[in-house]
Amino acid sequence: MTMLPQETIRRKRNGEHLASAEIADFVRGLSDGSISEGQVAAFAMAIWFSGMSREETVALTLAMRDSGETLDWSAIKRPIADKHSTGGVGDNVSLMLAPIVAACGLAVPMISGRGLGHTGGTLDKLESIPGYDIQPSASVFRRTVDEIGCAVIGQTANLAPADKRLYAIRDVTATVDSVPLITASILSKKLAAGLQSLVLDVKLGNGSFMSDAREAEILARSLVDVANGAGVRTSALLTDMNEPLADAAGNALEIDNCLAFLRGEKKGTRLETVVLAFAAEMLVAGGVAGDAEQGEAQARKVLGSGAALERFGKMVHALGGPADFIERSVAYLGRAPVILPVEAEQSGYLAACETRELGMAVIALGGGRSHPDDRIDHRVGFDALKPLGTRVAKGDLIAFVHAADQQAAEAARRRLLALYTIDEVEPETRSPILAKIT
C-alpha cells in the first residue's frame, strides 16, 4: 500500500526507520511531480535532522538510480570502472586518470559535472577544447567507451532525474550538507552509469567542501558502505586540499597541465602521487592488477610509453574535438591576452595557502560562474603555482596570472599574493593521501 507523503515525512521527522518500499514510493512521487516542492523540502529537512541508517540510504540511492535510465555495458568485455571527486582547486585528476586506466584495460564511462562553488568542473575544462561534445548521443558515448576505453561526458537528462529535482530543492532549503542526501545524490548517478567498481576521492582541507577531518571520514564511510551495499565494489581515499593539487587552476590551463602530465613532465609532484594512487586503486578494484604496487607499475608503464597520452587524444577526437589536438594544443586552447608574473614580496618558505579563495580568484577572472548562465573565459586562471614548502627569495616567481585585461591581471596578482603565507620556518610536508576507507 502506498503511504501518504506526509506520513513518510512525519515518520522520518520523528526519527523512525523508513522501509525500502516507503522510500521508493516517495522517490516515485518526487520524479513524477505528484509530491509538491514543499513536501520534498520537508522530507529533506527531516533527513537533515534525523539522519538515515545505512539500509535507508541504500534504499534512497537505489530508488533515485531507478528513477531514470540505467546504462548496460554487458556487451563490453572489459571491467567497467569510474572515479568521483568531491571537488577541489586545481583538481584535474580525472582528465589523466581515465586515459591511464583505459590504456591498462579498464572501460571508464565517466559522468562528470561542472564547477560548483569555488571548485573547478571537469566539463568546463573539457569545453576549453574546440568541438568537444560533453553531451554526445548514446551511440557515440557507447562507441567511444568500447573502442577507446574512456569517455568523459556530462549527465544526461535521463540519468537519475529524481536527483536533479531533489538537489535543486536542497540547494535553496539549506539541506545540501546532509551525509545521507550527499551520498544518495553522488551514488545514484554513478550507479545509473552501470559501474562494477568505483573509487572515491574525498577532499579534506581549506580548499574543499569538508574542512573537518571527522566529517570527511563520515562522508567517505557512508559513500563506501552504501555503494558496496548497492553491489558496486567501492573504496575511498581521503586527500589533502590545503593547496591547489595541480600547479594550474583554470580551465584551459588545467587541460594544458593534463597534457604535460601525460607527456611525463610532472614527475615527483603531489599531483603524480594522487593520480598514480587512484590508478592503482581502480586497477585493483577492476581486477586488472593484483595489488596496488602492481597497479602503479602498470600506470607508470602506459605513461612512459605514451599510450595514455595517445588514448586521451583519441577520446578528444571521438567526442568531436580536433584530430591533431595533442600536437597543436597551444593553437587550439588559445592564450589569455595578458600574462603577468606574480613575484614573492619577501624571502622565506611558502607555508600556507587560502585555497578556497584561490578558486574564487579564478572565478573573479572569469574562469567560473557567479550565476548559472554566465559565460566562462576558458583562457584565464593561474599556472606555474609553486607548492607549499618551496623556499623563495624576494622577487622569485610564485605563479603567472592569465587574464582578459591588464586591470583584471593586476587585481588577481594582488589577490594571489595575499592568499599565500611566507614564513621563515619551513612547514612540515605530508603526503596528499591522508587515509584509505574500504
- Burial of residue 40 (number of CB atoms within 10 Å: 0-12, 13-18, 19+): buried
Catalytic residue among 12, 65, 78, 83: 83
Give the closest residue to 275 by CA, choosing from 73, 104, 76: 104
Catalytic-role residue among 86, 128, 178, 185: 185
pLDDT at site 118: 65
Active site annotation includes 190? yes
173 is catalytic: no
Q: Kindly list the structural domains of the chain, giving each domain's residue range(s) and its CATH number in brackets, ordered by start.
A: 5-51 (1.20.970.10), 81-318 (3.40.1030.10), 335-423 (3.90.1170.30)
Distance (Å, rounded) from C-alpha 55 to C-alpha 382? 44
Q: Rounded to an integer, what distance in angstroms lies between the CA atom of residue 153 and that of residue 126? A: 9
d(CA 260, CA 267): 10
**Beta bridge partners of residue 167, listed in sequence order:** none
Catalytic residue among 25, 66, 82, 256: 82
Residue 235 annotated in active site: no
pLDDT, one tens digit per residue, over 286-295 is: 999 999 999 9
pLDDT tens by residue, the chain, 438 residues: 677 999 999 999 999 999 999 999 999 999 999 999 999 999 999 999 999 999 999 999 999 999 998 889 999 999 999 999 988 899 999 999 999 999 999 999 998 866 555 666 888 899 999 999 999 998 999 999 999 999 999 877 788 899 889 988 887 788 878 899 989 998 998 899 899 999 999 999 988 877 788 888 999 999 999 999 888 999 999 999 999 999 999 999 999 999 999 999 999 999 999 999 999 999 999 999 999 999 999 999 999 999 999 999 999 999 999 999 999 999 999 899 999 999 999 999 999 999 999 999 999 999 887 666 678 899 999 999 999 999 999 999 999 999 999 999 999 999 999 999 999 999 998 899 999 998
Q: Which of 12, 114, 165, 170 is catalytic?
A: 170
pLDDT value at position 117? Answer: 58
Q: How far is CA 242 from CA 31, 42, 286, 354, 356, in A?
A: 38, 35, 30, 7, 9
DSSP letter string, 175-208: -S--HHHHHHHHHHHHHHTT-SEEEEEEEESTTS
Which residue reads 540511492 in cell numbers? Answer: 61
Residues 435, 238 contacting (CB under 8 angstroms): yes
From the candidates 122, 144, 175, 222, which is the catalytic residue?
A: 122
**Residue 143, CA atoms < 13 Å, CB-side half-sphere:** 10
For 22-49, the pLDDT digits (tens) are: 999 999 999 999 999 999 999 999 999 9
Sign, CA dihedral 244-249-251-252, equals negative
CA distance 184 to 59: 9
Q: Which of 65, 189, 378, 402 is catalytic?
A: 189
Task: Please give the pLDDT value at position 176.
Answer: 79
Whether 189 is catalytic: yes
125 classed as catalytic: no
- pLDDT score recorded for residue 189: 87
Whether 82 is a known active-site residue: answer: yes
Q: Let me know if 267 is a catalytic residue.
A: no
Catalytic residue, chosen from 12, 78, 165, 190, is 190
Residue 139's pLDDT is what?
A: 92
- Known active-site residue 122: yes
Residue 207 confidence (pLDDT): 85
Per annotation, catalytic residue among 12, 84, 356, 402 = 84
pTM of the model: 0.89
Whether 225 is catalytic: no
